[in-house]
Amino acid sequence: MRKYNLAVVGATGLVGREILKILVERDFPIKKIKVIASENSAGKKIEFKDQKLEVITATKGVFKEIDIALFSAGTEVAKKLAPQAKKEGAIVIDNSNAFRMDKKIPLVVPEVNAVDLKIHQKIIANPNCSTIQMVMLLKPLAQKYGLKRVVVNTYQAVSGAGKKAVDEMLEQTKAYLKEEKIENKHFKHQIAFNAIPQIDTFMDNDYTKEEMKMINETRKILAKPKLAITATCVRIPVIFGHGEVLNIELKSSYKIEALKSLIKKSPNIELIDDPLNYRYPLQTDTETNDNVLVGRVRRDNSLKNGINLWLTANNLRKGAALNAVQIAENLITNNLV
């Protein structure tokens, strides 16, 4: 079996470290692996299987002989380094916002639109975390019933903002418990025991970038450029796992049991829906479960073909690192490397 040369860019971040873990867990066919980060991290060692990999910076030629480069280093770094990597011969799978809405670049959740990978020109975009888990559910519903309109509200974990954000919440929490002063550096407001109705910066239409990502990326992934969808994104003091409440209006009528069966048999989705026994998905469940977890599925009687439901997934894994690795696996399986 062929093995591949990989590079992980942004290897020391929360998502980068998760990518390395997942490559091991899934026994990815690796010949050689380079771990790349900023100068601050250069020279550090990262454990990987029985090796200690030295973190290097992205000098000229670093991507030569690399087959696949998994990027998770933010939009600015991606804009600078992805073209270099492509030129030096690597296929880039980028987790940032840099290329997602570029019409020539596939934006892929393998369970939903792996077919879009066929047209790749060496750069592939990994969608936003909160989008990935939502489209995993919307795709089967769209296929069977059609989507008339979607309203999504998020309950997003602090790890989505990186390690510094998690550290800040934990520091604030300790300060609160000791009745000491709470300091904000990463977040503009206290996040310990508080929610912040802003994720990413604001656009001219008073939506945040995160909200517009959910709207625009969903339309692109589902190939429904005019889908009626709106979003409100809120950060809550949870460490891992994004929660989402979806209110969906379907085009055709449905039976609730058939709809639940459809969810149950959809790939990498798990229905946890036994409310009388207090069984519904929790964000803490996603620490040890890579599926998109769906529950609280019930008819919305305020319109004709309405559904309410709650879903959650691990934002660092299915929402980022795992989806990227799945894309890489898919490229290999389909001879697209």
Residue 72 in marked binding region:
no
Shortest spacing between CB 207 and its own copies, in angstroms: 6
Q: Which is nearer to its own copies, 69 or 259 (CB)?
A: 259
319 is in an annotated binding site: no
Question: Is residue 77 a known part of a binding site?
Answer: no
233 is catalytic: no
Interface residues with its own copies (CB under 8 A) are 149-151, 153, 155, 170, 173-174, 177, 188-190, 193-198, 202, 205-208, 228-230, 232, 234, 236-239, 243, 245, 247, 275-276, 278, 280-284, 295-303, 306, 308, 310
Q: Which is nearer to its own copies, 28 or 187 (CB)?
A: 187
Q: Least distance in Å: CB of 237 to its own copies?
A: 5
Inter-residue contact 251 to 141 (CB < 8 Å): no
Helix and strand tally (H, E) in the chain? Answer: 8, 13
Contact 298, 307 (CB under 8 A): yes
Report the chain's terminal Cα–Cα distance, integer Å. Answer: 14
Task: Using DSSP, state whether 52 is helix, strand or coil.
Answer: strand
Comparison of 164 and 174: residue with beta carbon closer to its own copies: 174
Show the DSSP H helices in 200-310 as ranges: 209-221, 256-265
Hey, what amino acid is at 34?
K
Shortest approach of its own copies to residue 50 CB, angstroms?
Answer: 28
- Tell me whether residue 186 is one of the annotated catalytic residues: no
Is 40 annotated for ligand binding?
yes
Going by C-alpha positions, the residue among 313, 198, 290, 305 that lies closest to residue 244 is: 313
**In this structure, which amino acid lies at residue 120?**
H
Q: Which amino acid is at 144?
A: K
Tell me the binding residues for substrate.
Answer: 156, 235
Catalytic residues: 129, 242
